Chain A
Amino acid sequence: MFKKILFATSATEACDHAARVAFDMAQRYNAHIDVFHVLGIPSRGYSQVVVDVKTGDEVALDDNYRDLVKEEIRTYYDHQIAKTKNWSIDVAIGLPHREILRIARLMKPDMIVMGGSTGASGSYAHKKIVTGSTFQRVAKAAHCPVLVINRPAGSFWGGFSNVVFGTDFSNAADTAFEFAFKLVKELNCDFHIFHALDITGFQMNNLHTQDYIEDQIQKAGRQLRFKYISKMENFKDYAMEVWEGIPFVEIVKYAREKHADLIVMAYNTKKTDEKDASIGSVAEQVILRANCPVISINRSVGK
């Protein structure tokens, strides 16, 4: 299931928790991990002078500098690399999301692992209200699942055995379901299929009766069973639930209640501009807030 992991990192404290999960996965599932770092952005097209993304300094790029950065990354992750059998370190210059997608096309990993937004060195994305724009762009276009660990608290599980799949019944959710179900079967996990009924209209004076809400919950429950039970054949370790509320809050709460060590969701947003996406898709808000790693899957995964 996980034979090739692409770990995209800023090699700063902001990615430490993502590193914990990425290396743990590599060791646990005997996978190859490629530690990938975009070291700088060219100051102008094809220029050999780049702006170092960590320091903000302009540096002249040559093989020595690349080797120096690789060595720095090697040292930074020394503790984890020492316990990992198959690993490599790659560095590139360019815009981070483009380079991550470029190497993903070449390497064809089973999974891209990322931390949240790095922003200024040392800052954490969970202190922001939006996910990083690099993540948004990678999640939208990647042809493989993208696993994001935004909060340090989400990195203390070790392996996957209790998976929550959040669905909005969209086409992208169908793709996410296929991946989630394959994962739970291969890793012998408990599978929690969950839908959050959006009743946020409540805040805009669109007050529903409790009967109406409960009718909708029952309807969504039927939809869950109709859509997914037939796809699971003889698999029995699943549970299905519908909760009403604010969707991202309910998914985070449900995962916490079930002690989930992984959430799988479709990534639906078409907007990648930080300003437009700031209210965000449900998946982005879950990524920001979850107490466990979150895998987001767009419609192009596996195609």
Chain B
Amino acid sequence: MKKKILIIDDDPAVVDYLTTLFEDNGYAACSAMTAQDGLKRAQKERPDLITLDLELPDEWGPRFYRKLSSDKELKNTPVIVISGLSGNKYAVSKAVASLSKPFDRDELLKIVKENV
């Protein structure tokens, strides 16, 4: 069964790009454009990994992560922060990695492979 990745980003171009990238590399992908929707999708889909933008329309990434980590079923889901904001590396301290946009697709795939 394919490993599933949840993409949380409010930029449709980034969502499209990541969806294609993950699907082309043998993963299943689903997405959400807000933190609230992201949490619902995570609870429903039980993804093996989440990519998280820091600046979402309804909430900032660290607050989303706080909610995620208080859910017993989801708290160990690896999260990769993908953001264009400076300082993003330290924003979610328990993220498995943080990448700045524009990011290197090979680096992202390598991190995903290591964590799912």
Chain A residue at minimal CB-CB distance from B69? A259
Q: Could you say which of B65, B69, B89, B91 has the most chain A C-beta atoms within 10 Å of its C-beta?
A: B91
Q: How far is the CA of A152 from the CA of B66 in the complex (A)?
A: 18
A152-B85, A259-B69 in contact; A157/B90 too (CB < 8 A)?
A: no
Q: Which residues of A contact B88 (CB under 8 A)?
A: 152-153, 156
With A256-B93, A291-B93 as contacts: A151 and B87 at CB distance below 8 Å = yes
How far is it, in angstroms, between the C-alpha of A78 and the C-alpha of B93 when the chains are bound?
31
Q: Say if the beta carbon of A162 comes within 8 Å of chain B.
A: yes
Residues of A within 8 A of B55 (CB): 156
Give a binary string over B81-116; 1 marks a CB under 8 Å from any A CB, 0 the rest: 000011111110100000000000000000000000
Contact (Cβ within 8 A) A151 B59: no
Point out which of B63, B65, B88, B93 has the most chain A C-beta atoms below 10 A from its C-beta: B63
Whole-angstrom distance between the Cβ of B82 and the nearest chain A Cβ: 13
B66 to A259, Cβ gap below 8 A?
Answer: yes
Chain A residue with the shortest CB-CB distance to B56: A158
Check A157–B62 contact: CB distance below 8 A. Answer: yes
**Given contacts A156-B54, A291-B93, are A261 and B63 in contact (CB under 8 A)?**
yes
- Contact yes or no, A158 B63, CB < 8 A: yes
Chain A residues with a Cβ closer than 8 Å to the other chain, count: 15
Find out whether the CB atom of B59 lies under 8 angstroms from the CB atom of A158: yes
**B55's closest neighbor in chain A, by CB?**
A156
A153 near B90 with CB under 8 A, answer yes
With contact pairs A156-B54, A156-B61, A157-B60 given, residues A162 and B87 touching in the complex (Cβ less than 8 Å)? no
Q: Which residues of A contact B54 (CB under 8 A)?
A: 156
Task: Give B59-78 as 1s and 0s: 1 = Cβ < 8 Å from A's Cβ atoms.
Answer: 11111011001000000000
**Chain A residues whose C-beta falls within 8 Å of the C-beta of B61 in the assembled complex:** 156
Say yes or no: is A17 at the interface (Cβ < 8 Å to chain B).
yes
* Assembly CA distance A157 to B59 (angstroms): 8
Which residues from A are CB-within-8-Å of B66? 162, 259
A155 within 8 A of B: yes
Docked-complex contact B87 and A153, CB < 8 angstroms? yes
- Which chain B residue lies CB-closest to A153? B90
Contact A158 B90 (CB under 8 A): no
Task: Tell me, in angstroms, the Cα distance from A72 to B60 when the chains sit together.
Answer: 28
What chain A residues lie within 8 Å of B62 (beta carbons)? 156-157, 259, 261, 291
Please encode chain A, from 247 to 285, with 1 for each CB lying within 8 Å of some chain B CB and 0 for all others.
000000000100101000000000000000000000000
B interface footprint on A8-45 (CB within 8 Å = 1, 0 otherwise): 00000000110000000000000000000000000000
What residues on B are CB-neighbors of A259 within 8 Å?
62, 65-66, 69
- A126 to chain B: closest CB distance in Å? 9
Q: Residue of A at shortest CB range from B98?
A: A153
Distance to closest chain A CB from B54 (angstroms): 5
- List the B residue with the shortest CB-CB distance to A16: B86
- Chain B nearest CB: distance from A24 CB in Å? 9
| Residue of A153, A158, A256, A261 with most partner-chain B CB within 10 A | A153
Q: Is the CB of A152 within 8 A of B63?
A: no
Q: Nearest CB to that of B70 among chain A residues?
A: A259
| Chain A 145-171 residues near chain B, CB threshold 8 A | 151-153, 155-158, 161-162
Q: A291 — which chain B residues lie within 8 A by C-beta?
A: 62, 90-91, 93
- Give the distance in Å from the alpha carbon of A261 to the alpha carbon of B88 in the complex: 16
A152 near B86: Cβ-Cβ < 8 Å = yes
* A interface residue numbers (CB < 8 A to B): 16-17, 151-153, 155-158, 161-162, 256, 259, 261, 291
What would 6 A/B residue contacts be, using CB atoms closer than 8 Å? A17-B87, A153-B91, A156-B62, A156-B87, A158-B63, A256-B93
In the A-B complex, list the 8 residue pairs whose CB atoms are closest, starting with the nearest. A152-B87, A153-B90, A259-B66, A158-B60, A156-B60, A156-B91, A153-B87, A153-B91
Known: A151-B90, A156-B88. 8 other contacts (CB 8 A): A17-B87, A152-B88, A153-B90, A156-B61, A156-B87, A157-B60, A256-B93, A291-B62
